[in-house]
Homo-oligomer: A and B are copies of this chain.
Amino acid sequence: MRDVVEIGPGKLARRGYHLRDVALVPSRRTREMSDVSTAWQLDAYQFAIPCVAHPSDATMSPASAVRLGGLGGLGVLNVEGLWCRYAEPEPILDELAALGEDTPATRRLQEVYAEPIKPELIVERVQQMRDGNETVAVRVSPQHTLALAPVILDAGIDILVIQGTLVSAEHVSTVEESLNLKEFIADLDLPVIVGGCTNYQTALHLMRTGAAGVIIGIGGDEWSTTDTVLGIRVPMATAIADAAEARRAYLDETGGRYVHLIADGDLRTSGDIAKAMGCGADAVMLGEPLSRCEDAPANGAWWHSSASHPVLPRGAFGAAEAPLAAMDTVLYGPSTDPDGCLNLFGGLRRSMAKCGYRDLKEFQRVGLVLDPGCH
């Protein structure tokens, strides 16, 4: 049953499945929509929907982070993004919003991100978010965590997200001091979300750092080119199910510490979200869908953090398209389009109702069918 194949003698590979490879199987019950809850809680923070923003400058400004909080999700600002490099990032965001999808766009991203991060702007942006009276979360990369953490923590946040494309609990370096995640987190008195990662072992080791949440996946989507550049690609259904097993193992070894899994990748429609939850995720991290809201910071343009890497960019620039709808309509509808990109969490709720489950934890048990076809 374990789906391990022999690529050649001595070289095994485990088969991995994408969310698009699976579909949910309704149980023999259905439930009334109004009996179904999509509520999610991380540490002391409660959310109406299991929705975390992917911290790209294309999705999150201080204002849109607050707006997402007000709508029941968790906004996350990237403190290594344009808002903390420029006192007035709006003209740059407007310029990016006007670029097309080609190599010069990548070059321009590389240029604007060459501007240094300014600690005083971090303080200012956090304050702007605090003024919104919603849960305040920011993202920092593992490389910059030691340098920027004091500023960030002093600024007064609620949740810290330490996120790189691929993060391990054990970064080995002979040349400089590395972040020891376990010690770092132990010294904090706020919940930390850490990731991304792709498999059972890495997820389990990240849980052992004391993180409240682990990000599963690397934000893969049609703009991501991690596979062509690094040879690494993450079948999300398998990655989530693996991490769910790590969550159970860690629950057992700690006698009850529950670490939340936040899926980040291949999430575009309400159906994708439902499948991620059905594979075992506790919440989803949305990037491109939030970049397409009417009031998104870059007017519908979309790029990953790694798209601006100075020597090895790993994401294509998604030129601005017409906005889908206001953020509340994207999240809660009503939808006027049948393609699953609007009313994302209304769609999740209806999927739960049709499959017969009342809450997200129950819904993780939904049956799956695997579809061998093409897409």
User: Which A positions have Cβ atoms within 8 angstroms of B?
Assistant: 1-18, 20-32, 34-35, 103, 106-107, 110, 165-176, 178, 197-202, 205, 225-235, 237-245, 248, 269-275, 278-280, 307, 310-317, 333-340, 343, 346-347, 350-351, 354-356, 367-375
Contact = CB atoms under 8 A, between A and B. Distances in A.
Contacts of A8: 200, 237-245, 279-280
A206 to B, nearest CB: 9
A311 B346 contact: yes
Contact of A29 (B14, B168, B347, B367): B168
A275 to B, nearest CB: 4
B369 A227 contact: no
Chain A interface helix/strand/loop/mixed: mixed
A172 B27 contact: no
Contacts of A227: 23, 271
Contacts of A356: 168, 172
22 contacts: A1-B6, A8-B238, A8-B244, A10-B244, A11-B244, A13-B22, A13-B367, A13-B368, A15-B370, A23-B234, A26-B199, A26-B232, A28-B168, A30-B166, A35-B172, A35-B175, A172-B356, A227-B271, A228-B270, A230-B350, A232-B355, A235-B371
B13 A172 contact: no
Contacts of A173: 31-32, 35
B7 A279 contact: yes
A103 B169 CA distance: 47
A352 to B, nearest CB: 9
Contacts of A346: 311-312
A336 to B, nearest CB: 5
Contacts of A170: 28-30
Contacts of A107: 336
Given A172-B30, A372-B15, A229 B1 contact: no
A128 to B, nearest CB: 31
Contact of A32 (B174, B200, B333, B373): B174
Nearest to A7: B241
Given A313-B336, A338-B225, A368-B12, A351 B232 contact: yes
Contacts of A312: 333-335, 343, 346-347, 350
A26 B233 contact: no
A274 B231 contact: yes
B22 A7 contact: yes
Contact of A278 (B23, B26, B231): B231
B315 A338 contact: yes
Given A26-B168, A166-B354, A271 B231 contact: yes
Contacts of A24: 230-232
Contacts of A239: 8
A56 to B, nearest CB: 15
A313 B205 CA distance: 42
A32 B244 contact: no
B23 A233 contact: yes
A338 B273 CA distance: 27
A202 B368 CA distance: 15
Contacts of A31: 171-173
Nearest to A8: B241
Contacts of A11: 241, 244, 279-280, 368
Contacts of A242: 8-9
B103 A336 contact: yes
Nearest to A201: B28
